[in-house]
Amino acid sequence: MESIQSQVPSVALFVTRSEIDFTHRSPSPICQRWFMVLYLKSEAKELALTVYPVNMKNPEQEFKKAYNSNPPVVVFDELNDKTSQTVLTDNRDIDAEISKRFPVTNMSSLKEAEDVCSNVYIKFHPYLKSPSGDPQEQMKLRSLLSELKRINDYLEEMGTQYLSGNEMTFVDCDIMPKLQHIRVAGKYY
């Protein structure tokens, strides 16, 4: 009997490697988003996922030669033709291809949930990059806290576990790594 792995398409995800622990993924929100999405699809047995951390300070020659891009890079092996691959590096293309190839687990997000989350990282960067003693620092912090409150209020209003319902969707996979960055940096600042 064939294993599940051979009955589902193989997907390789190349992500930036951690600078601290060379065997793990970096905290890149974009790489983390695609890892989360593909992991959920893998858990649903829609695909077999393999993750490759790439040292971007000194990328492996095979990676540079084959993909000539920065992570994330997603490589889809064709199920019927093991020698054929589809390589994607653009986030919109990755999103469209995942949705097209693996429709069983619906990860579509509510537009309203996407709108609520759209500015939180934009507000985080100015606050994070504020020099010590910046007279605008408190305003930047209030702006960030306002965006975080919007997300919290939306979740309370929805009464669901995640932003678009009780199952994770693309918007959850997008915002969670960003919120983790804010949580970690918030402890430092």
Mind listing the pLDDT tens digit for each residue in 43-60?
999 999 999 998 888 888
**Residues of the chain with pLDDT > 90: what percent?**
56
pLDDT given at position 2: 46
pLDDT higher than threshold 50 for residue 1: no
Domain boundaries, the chain: 10-101, 111-186
Strands in 48-54's sheet, in edge-to-edge order, are 48-54, 10-16, 73-77, 85-88
Burial of 143 (C-beta count, 10 Å sphere; 0-12/13-18/19+): middle
pLDDT given at position 161: 94
Indicate the class that CATH gives domain 111-186. mainly alpha
pLDDT higher than threshold 60 for residue 39: yes
- CATH no. for 10-101: 3.40.30.10
pTM: predicted TM-score of the whole model, two decimal places: 0.85
Angle between helices 120-128 and 137-158 (to 10 degrees): 150
pLDDT higher than threshold 60 for residue 74: yes
Average pLDDT over residues 65-81: 83
pLDDT given at position 27: 77
Q: 159 — alpha (psi -120 to 50), left (phi > 0) or beta? A: left
Which of 39, 53, 44 has the alpha carbon at shortest distance from 11? 39
